[in-house]
Amino acid sequence: MPSCTSELPVRIYYLCTGNSARSQMAEYFTLHHAPAGTVQAASGGTDPQGVHPLTAEVMSELDIDLSRASSDLLDPDLLQKSDLVVTLCADARDSCPALPPQVSHRHWPLPDPASEPAKVENFRHAREQIEGYVISLLNELDLR
């Protein structure tokens, strides 16, 4: 696992199926909470669906702006160059290409807040869980 003794910035790649909610939140919480220059965070999906409007809404409640966020297809090159890959759903974990030995992997099994019916409460709950995971990860990496 990378740490502050590793070369900075630490490159973290968050993966989910749609890259519409969970992975977007994780990417933006990482950028929000990590000290400048210590982390490069990105997110991608196995089947990108666009950033869900409720994702942007609940993040804006915390003054985190997702207006520039894009829903991107999993990038094999970025995957290979990452220090850590975090999957946020079983589909992304199961369909993730093999990682080289130097890339660490974490799995955060979180329910999809966009499941029918998509409710703002589901997105707020996911947001709280993901922020907790991200803060714990950054503390573990000595990046807070």
In one letter, which amino acid is 122? N
Which of 64, 96, 103, 135 does the annotation list as catalytic?
A: 96
Which of 89, 92, 134, 143 does the annotation list as catalytic?
A: 89
Catalytic residue list contains 89: yes
Angle between helices 22-33 and 53-60 (to 10 degrees): 30
Q: For the chain, what's the residue count?
A: 144
Which of 10, 15, 16, 59 does the annotation list as catalytic?
A: 16
Catalytic residue list contains 4: no
Query: Which residues touch 45 (CB under 8 Å, ≥6 apart)?
Result: 15, 16, 17, 18, 19, 20, 23, 71, 72, 73, 74, 92
CA 136 to CA 34: how far, in whole Å?
Answer: 11
Give the active site residues.
16, 89, 96
